[in-house]
Structure 1
């Protein structure tokens, strides 16, 4: 058999039975292929020499650029992910279907959306976020941090049905991102979500369900819900302080996004200028605009 390039689709035959496979790569232990066994409907990894032994001919396949969706590395990644997490695969009827799935994917369309997108369920007082993974065997599934998917109930990153994710929320939303902030392909987003399954480090302010979903798509760890609370809390504290109703704690204010320079100017003005005067208010406004 001629030297195969990585991510080559080939078919072997004994004159009666045909078997499709994907050539992966060569390691110190040998050359490996991955294939869908039609005998037991399992994804299997095997040394190339052992795989070829029962057959007497083979054919390689080529995919045109306008047909295949993934480059060679992503094709291998899809195949290995299928090997590692077969429970989340679509139903394959043949080995050829499996190898084609590695190259060209599938629509992965559920009743609502396309796989690899950020969705949220609005729960009134808060929103619950997750990554829609697709429709498998007739069920829409979502990866999400189950912490507070129910009120005051912490949990780990898990995969559930879309129905369980939605809970008692009336509406599901597709969170849109501008192209320049999306760092990964749809498959990579799904894979990133799966890579954190069983993680149990939920924190409402530093590692919540929205942090997880945003990270899957952009690589950044942030939550607009948390940022909004911080902004509103900061504004409220500043207003109450200006009215003379509270004494701000610098550590608290800094944690809410107030810069050290702004805090220094703000504190200095409280001592230098009479509170409530136009000059006092003007200098404070200047510090907010230019020293953040």
Structure 2
């Protein structure tokens, strides 16, 4: 089954990201459809502190959402079954069990988060740059450098949108 949404066709098993500005939220498209005709999404969220299968609107909160260019070898039914096995079981953590970790785990990819890695590297480099080059490197200045460069690298770690004809 395929669903047309926001000028993109999404199918069960697709990975979609919702653009929340400072970060992207990763979800797995379900094989279930909401009463409004939109697909359900399975994802781990800070909002729930676990995994839930929820309506498109609840998960995306109206933010731009699109399928990303990711391939995996696990059968879709197996990926959805694994994802559902974690509903109310997964313990959400921004750094070790976030939405990107969860989706990659469910589809059989290496469990990692480009956004977390980019944020940590950026924060570390930002503080180091301030410490090395500031005339008076205070803790506040180093925190500012961490936040600025960390945020910039998280934004740069965005997932690539899948072509609508792919």
Alignment TM-score, normalising by the size of structure 1: 0.41
Instruction: Check whether the contact 2:45–2:98 (CA below 8 A) recurs between aligned residues.
Output: no
Kindly tell me the number of residue pairs found equivalent between the two proteins: 132
Separation (CA, whole Å) in 2 of partners of 1:239 and 1:223: 24
Aligned equivalent of 1:140? 39
Give the Å deviation of 1:183: 3.8
Aligned equivalent of 2:2? 109
Aligned equivalent of 1:155? 49
Separation (CA, whole Å) in 2 of partners of 1:205 and 1:132: 23
- Structure 1, unpaired ranges of 5+: 1-107, 148-152, 249-292
1:195-239 CA-partner distances (Å, limit 9, x unpaired): 211124111111111111121223422111111101211221221
Aligned equivalent of 1:197? 87
Q: Which structure has the larger Rg?
A: 1
Separation (CA, whole Å) in 2 of partners of 1:133 and 1:154: 18
Structure number with the bigger relative contact order (C-alpha 8 A, sep ≥ 6) is: 2
Residue number among 207, 227, 239 corresponding to 2:97 in the alignment:
207
Aligned equivalent of 2:160? none
Aligned equivalent of 2:124? 234
Residue number among 118, 137, 141 corresponding to 2:15 in the alignment:
118
After the TM superposition, which residues 53-72 of structure 1 pair with which residues of structure 2 at under 5 Å, given as runs?
Answer: none
Give the Å deviation of 1:139: 4.3
> What is the DSSP-based 3-state SS (H/G/I as helix, E as strand, rest coil) of the residue aligned with 1:220?
coil
Q: Go from structure 1 to structure 2 and tell me whether the alpha carbon gap of 1:184 and 1:200 turns closer, same or farther (over 3 Å shift).
A: closer
Aligned equivalent of 1:168? 62
| Structure 1 residue runs of 4 or more that deviate by more than 3 Å after TM superposition | 135-139
Give the Å deviation of 1:155: 2.6
Separation (CA, whole Å) in 2 of partners of 1:241 and 1:218: 41
Instruction: Check whether the contact 1:123–1:168 (CA below 8 A) recurs between aligned residues.
Output: no
Alignment TM-score, normalising by the size of structure 2: 0.69
Separation (CA, whole Å) in 2 of partners of 1:172 and 1:221: 22
